[in-house]
Amino acid sequence: MRLKSAIWVAAYLRGCQTEGIFGAVRRRGAEDAGAVFVKLALLDGRAWLFEPAPQSAYGDSHPAQRVFAPTSPEAIAEQAVEERIAREIRFDPDAWVVEIEDKAGRHFLDLVSG
């Protein structure tokens, strides 16, 4: 069984904070099963956006594990990330948006290429 989104977000932010990375919830979504999007601001005008990976990307991983995929192959202009976030929220008003800041680009998410 997958953790509720609210619990996962709280644990994720706590983990980032223990590594010295600032993070905050920018938008609260559905407590139980809202999709979680993570914006990683590189503090130089660029950012990454990580979205829930499609179910096919889970492979042999545990079904309760959350898997994320970057929305672009490299960091892009922060304004473009913000526009993508706005589109995602219009599509799914139950979505969460978490933002972290790290110049080194650390995010502590399991990545799926693609």
Quickly tell me which residue has 């991983």 as its tokens: 61
Where does 1-114 have alpha helices with state H? 5-18, 78-91
Within the chain, which residues score under 70 in pLDDT?
1, 55-64, 110-114
Strand ranges in the chain using DSSP code E only, listed in sequence order: 22-27, 36-41, 46-52, 68-70, 76-77, 96-101
Q: pLDDT tens digit string along 10-34?
A: 999 999 999 999 999 999 999 988 8
What sign for the dihedral angle of Cα 26, 28, 29, 34?
Answer: positive
Look-up: residue for tokens 């799926």?
112
Instruction: Catalogue all structural domains in the chain, each as residue range(s) with its CATH number.
Output: 5-101 (3.40.1530.20)
> What's the pTM?
0.88
pLDDT of residue 56: 56
